[in-house]
Amino acid sequence: MALATAAVSLHPFLSRSTCILRFGRRLPPLLLRATSSASSSQHFNISFAEPTPSEKTPSAQPRVPWIVRGEDGKPRLSTSPPQDVLEAIALAEAEAKKAAKREAALKGQKNAVAAAAAASSASVKARERKAAPTAPPKFSKAARRFYNENIKDREPQRLAKVLAAAGVASRRNSEELIFQGKVTVNGSICTSPQTKVDITKDSIYVNGNRISKKLPPKLYFAVNKPKGYICSCGEESKSVVSLFNDYLKGWNKIQPGLPKPRLFTVGRLDVATTGLIIVTNDGEFAQKLAHPSSNVTKEYVVTIDGDVHKKHLIAISEGTKIDGVMCVPDLVEPLAAQSDTRKTRLRIVVHEGRNHEVRELVQNAGLKVYALKRVRVGRFRLPADLGIGKFVELKQADIKALEGNS
């Protein structure tokens, strides 16, 4: 047999040792060079010819061997793949492109969802920051006090509270003035005490007199109340507030440009009781300190007219009902007798703050009160050097001590 030499180049799709025909039969690989032999089996050697110079150029089209069945039914060598192979390759390439597009679309959707979630989270956080109430600055005590007196009080507040803070009248009397139509806000009569106003922006008149746009500072005093003085905010000559007449007369020199404060007592001591009482113009502070729910302890020294026995102490310790409420003292103990008198003194500590509570406890035990003096409120004790009828302005540490218990 003559030797036939063909120059071929392998196609990427021809990676197997055999090729599959259109009709499903397997044929051996292309036999390009055959050698004759005497044996029954023939052996073929395959060799590749050197490419021509024209084939070495990059533009030259490589020749690919394909074994196809011709019209006569015999296999033959072809340089182009069959039509069904071309269709399969085109279909595979189209499916790969579709898969790439689907993956890109899915990735884009995930990115869009992630971006939308991030934007929604940022929007929610922004709304929360906007809706969160503004907290007072957490700085030093002096900074917090400046904030409370100069910034916090400038926020819109109820009309009755503003009038009371401005020194017009007590909050209850301010409400009466509003109900009577004697208060105007920005030129209109206001009959609702709950109306929110800003004293620095709104024009407020009471009985034709304009309220100052500045509020007096918060003041706190400890007074050594004399016997015979009442705890009233009226014009009585022997009221605890009247002890501040000289102080208020010189107010314009002390605080020029600020309205005079309206002072009042925190709680009450009856006319015959002496000792420590607090005077302020801070209504919220007074309400908190005087209300029984605050449980602020108050210490009294009671001078008894007569002898005191153990049964009396037991009776006082067991308590008594006042206005339908059972009041039990926190402490009852005798004190050492003073050198200038032989009368027995008792120390009694209570926290209820009921009207005439200590007198009721003593009288219910069968004893007679000769003198009653309050010496402590909370942890603040009446200064020993504070004379009767005198007062002293409290510092922040003293105000804090009033709200605590020893």
CATH of the domain at 248: 3.30.2350.10
How remote is the C-alpha of 126 from its chain's centroid? 14
Across 217-239, b (16+ Cβ under 10 Å) vs e yields ebbbbbbbbeeebbbbeeeeeeb
**Residues 265, 397 within the same domain:** yes
**Residues 295, 206 within the same domain:** no
**Residues 377, 245 within the same domain:** yes
CA-closest candidate to residue 241, choices 290, 196, 279: 279
* Cβ-contact 332, 317 below 8 angstroms: yes
**Residues 204, 242 within the same domain:** no
pLDDT at 271: 92
pLDDT tens for each residue of the chain, 406 residues long: 333 333 333 344 444 444 444 444 444 444 444 444 444 444 545 554 555 555 444 444 555 567 777 778 778 777 777 777 788 888 888 889 888 888 888 888 888 888 888 887 887 777 776 666 566 556 776 777 666 666 665 678 889 888 888 888 888 888 999 999 999 999 899 999 889 988 888 899 998 888 888 888 899 999 999 999 998 876 667 899 999 999 999 998 888 888 889 899 998 899 999 999 999 998 888 888 888 778 899 999 999 988 899 999 999 999 998 888 899 999 999 998 777 778 899 999 998 878 889 999 999 999 999 999 999 999 999 999 999 999 999 999 999 999 876 5
**Residues 384, 343 within the same domain:** yes
pLDDT at 109: 83
Kindly report the pTM of this predicted structure: 0.60
pLDDT at 333: 94
Q: Is residue 129 part of a domain?
A: no
**Residues 244, 327 within the same domain:** yes
Q: Is residue 150 part of a domain?
A: yes
270 given a catalytic annotation? yes
Residue 34: CB atoms within 10 Å: 15
Active-site pick, 153, 202, 246, 270: 270
CA-closest candidate to residue 33, choices 21, 20, 24, 42: 42
146: CATH: 3.10.290.10
Across 59-71, b (16+ Cβ under 10 Å) vs e yields eeeeebbbbbbee
**Residues 343, 379 within the same domain:** yes
Q: Is residue 302 part of a domain?
A: yes
Q: Of 210, 235, 267, which residue is a domain's last?
A: 210
Number of domains in the chain: 3
**Residues 257, 374 within the same domain:** yes
Q: Position of tokens 């922040």?
A: 396
Residue 387: CB atoms within 10 Å: 9
Q: Position of tokens 């005497």?
A: 38
* Cβ-contact 283, 165 below 8 angstroms: yes
Q: Is residue 134 part of a domain?
A: no
**Residues 351, 252 within the same domain:** yes
pLDDT at 119: 82
**Residues 242, 377 within the same domain:** yes
Tell me if residue 129 falls in helix, strand or coil. helix
Q: Is residue 130 part of a domain?
A: no
Q: Position of tokens 């153990």?
A: 310
Q: What is the CA radius of gyration of the chain?
A: 52
**Residues 384, 236 within the same domain:** yes
**Residues 76, 159 within the same domain:** no
Domain boundaries, position 152: 141-210
Q: What is the dihedral of CA 365, 370, 371, 372, to 10 degrees?
A: 10
pLDDT at 1: 38
Q: Is residue 109 part of a domain?
A: no
Q: Is residue 102 part of a domain?
A: no
pLDDT at 200: 82
Q: Of 176, 191, 210, which residue is a domain's last?
A: 210
Q: Position of tokens 């005590």?
A: 141
Q: Of 210, 228, 254, which residue is a domain's last?
A: 210
